[in-house]
């Protein structure tokens, strides 16, 4: 299993989000994807 190269904005407090996103690639479920979310109008994760 190779470690996916996940890039983008993801503060440490949202590391579980980044890890879950990366797991989809490691399992072969994803070939390419983007994920982002905002809190009170500010983008806090953009992978």
Inside any domain, residue 3: no
Inside any domain, residue 4: no
Question: How many domains are contained in the chain?
Answer: 1
Q: Are strands 36-39 and 42-46 parallel, antiparallel or unpaired?
A: antiparallel
Distance CA 35, CA 47 (A): 5
Distance CA 37, CA 23 (A): 18
Residue with tokens 């809190």: 39
Whole-prediction pTM: 0.77
The domain in which residue 28 lies consists of 12-46
Taking only the tens place, the pLDDT of each residue in 1-47 is 567 788 999 999 999 999 999 988 887 777 789 999 999 999 999 99
By CB neighbour count within 10 A (0-12 exposed, 13-18 middle, 19+ buried), where does 21 fall?
Answer: buried
């Amino acid at each position: 299993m190779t470690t996916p190269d996940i890039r983008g904005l993801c503060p440490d407090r949202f590391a579980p989000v980044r890890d879950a996103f990366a797991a989809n690639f490691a399992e072969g479920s994803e070939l390419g994807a983007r994920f982002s979310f905002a809190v009170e109008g500010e983008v806090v994760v953009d992978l």
